[in-house]
Chains A and B, each alone.
Chain A
Amino acid sequence: GQNIDQPTEMTATEGAIVQINCTYQTSGFNGLFWYQQHAGEAPTFLSYNVLDGLEEKGRFSSFLSRSKGYSYLLLKELQMKDSASYLCACRLLYSGAGSYQLTFGKGTKLSVIP
């Protein structure tokens, strides 16, 4: 079966750095997404990793280790607006080029406090 684990909740201080971890055990793994979701709203894309290593995009960075089944999202210089849920999702390739599904973790609710 597919299994994706993330911490349920995290709290961090404005201006600090926080790392949200995601571990996965899946078959057909072909990449990992991070999405941000504010309460009651649609998820919005943050990053996509398919190769091992770190991808940096402004205040957000994402890391992937395929051999360890591990990823993390790093948020720097935290702002109050970063309070949201962060969803880890594995791209699973089924059959045919471009044919895939996303399997989501349960999400990590991040609270940024002053």
Chain B
Amino acid sequence: DGGITQSPKYLFRKEGQNVTLSCEQNLNHDAMYWYRQDPGQGLRLIYYSQIVNDFQKGDIAEGYSVSREKKESFPLTVTSAQKNPTAFYLCASRTTGTSSYEQYFGPGTRLTVT
């Protein structure tokens, strides 16, 4: 089955600790995205990557970092510099063929920092 996996589904951390959220896809998609969703808010773009070894900041990149060493993997690190890290994090991917624009989403990771 092709798809996007995010693990774990729920993650708990103490304030001041860095934490890495995983995102893996076997859809052979070139582009990958990280979004954050807060209650009553839409999805906000954190980082995105169009190809391996390249990534761009989204609208709310401060306090986050990413890497894209492999096509299928796009991990997100939430650093201690992120002031309000508790949120629902969604990873997405899409092919960069010009005929397809749909982003496919993973199941999400709910991060709680106390």
Contact = CB atoms under 8 A, between A and B. Distances in A.
Contacts of A104: 35, 42-44
A42 B42 contact: no
Contacts of B50: 99
B1 to A, nearest CB: 15
Interface in A17-72: 31, 33, 40-45, 48
B90 A42 contact: yes
B39 to A, nearest CB: 10
B18 interface: no
Interface stretch (B61-69, B70-78, B104-112): B104-112
Given A4-B42, A98-B96, A42 B108 contact: yes
Interface residues of B, number: 25
Interface string A97-114: 111111111110000000
Contacts, number: 53
B90 A43 contact: yes
B55 to A, nearest CB: 13
Contact of A42 (B97, B98, B106): B106
A43 B98 contact: no
A87 interface: yes
7 contacts: A41-B107, A45-B102, A97-B98, A98-B96, A98-B98, A100-B101, A102-B43
Interface of B: 33, 35, 40-45, 48, 50, 58, 88, 90, 96-98, 101-108, 110
